[in-house]
Amino acid sequence: MKKVLFAAFEGLPFIKTGGLADVVYALPKALNKEEYEVKVVLPLLKSVKQKYYDRLTYVDHFEVHSGYINEGANVYTCDNEGIEYLFIENDTFFNRDDVYGYGDDNCRFSFYNVAVLEMMIKMDYYPDIIHTHDYHTAILPALCKLRFNQNEKIARIKHVFTIHNLVYQGIYDKQVLFDFLAFDYRHFANGPLRFNDLCNFMKIGIEMADIVTTVSKTYAQEIQTSEFGEGLDMILRYRNQDLYGIVNGIDPEIWNPKTDKIACNYNIRNYLKGKAANKLALQRELGLQEDPDAFLVGMVSRLTFQKGAELVANMNGEMLKKHVQIVILGTGEAKYEYAFRMMEDWNKGRACYYAGYNEQLAHSIYAGIDMLLMPSLFEPCGISQLIAMRYGTLPLVRETGGLKDTVEPYDCYKKTGRGFTFGPYDQNDMMNVFNYAYETYTKYRDDWKMLIRNAMSYDVSFAKSAKEYEELYSKLTK
Ligand code: ADP
Ligand code: GLC
DSSP string, 59-93: EEEEEEEETTEEEEEEEEEEEETTEEEEEEE-HHH
Closest approach atom of ligand 2 to CA 167: 8
User: Looking at residues 248-258, what average pLDDT do you find?
Assistant: 96
Q: Which ligand is nearest to the CA of 337?
A: 1
Task: Report the chain's mean pLDDT, rounded to a whole number.
Answer: 97
DSSP code for 239: T
- Residue percentage of the chain with pLDDT more than 70: 100
How far apart CA 179 and CA 338 sit, in angstroms, is 41
Q: Grade residue 478 by pLDDT with cuts at 50, 70 and 90.
A: confident
Give 61's strand partners. 74
Ligand 1: residue of 133, 301, 328 to mutate (most ligand atoms within 8 A of CB) is 301
445-474 residue pLDDT tens: 999 999 999 999 999 999 999 999 999 999
How far apart CA 383 and CA 19 sit, in angstroms, is 6
Position 145 scores a pLDDT of 98
Q: Does any ligand 1 atom lie closer than 6 A to the CB of residue 214?
A: no
Question: What's the one-letter identity of residue 451?
Answer: L
Q: Which ligand is nearest to the CA of 255?
A: 1
Those residues with Cβ within 8 angstroms of residue 141's Cβ, 6 or more apart along the chain or in another chain: 130, 132, 159, 161, 204, 205, 208, 209, 210
Position 455 scores a pLDDT of 98
CA 379 to each of CA 101, 134, 306, 323, 332: distance values in angstroms, whole numbers, following the listed order: 22, 15, 7, 29, 16
Could you tell me if 44 and 92 are in contact, meaning their C-beta atoms sit under 8 angstroms apart? no
Ligand 2: residue of 304, 381, 387 to mutate (most ligand atoms within 8 A of CB) is 381
Q: Does any ligand 1 atom lie closer than 6 A to the CB of residue 344?
A: no
How far apart CA 257 and CA 278 sit, in angstroms, is 10
CA atoms within 13 A on the CB side of 322: 20
Distance of CA 92 to the CA centre of its chain: 27
Q: Grade residue 190 by pLDDT with cuts at 50, 70 and 90.
A: confident
Position 47 scores a pLDDT of 94
Ligand 2: residue of 16, 169, 215 to mutate (most ligand atoms within 8 A of CB) is 215
Position 260 scores a pLDDT of 98
CA-nearest residue for atom 19, ligand 1, is 301
Position 79 scores a pLDDT of 97
Q: Does any ligand 1 atom lie closer than 6 A to the CB of residue 302?
A: yes
Closest approach atom of ligand 2 to CA 219: 9
Q: Does any ligand 1 atom lie closer than 6 A to the CB of residue 359?
A: yes
User: Looking at residues 57-73, what average pLDDT do you find?
Assistant: 98
Given a cut of 90, whether residue 399 has pLDDT beyond it is yes
Closest approach atom of ligand 1 to CA 307: 3
User: Looking at residues 264-276, what average pLDDT do you find?
Assistant: 98
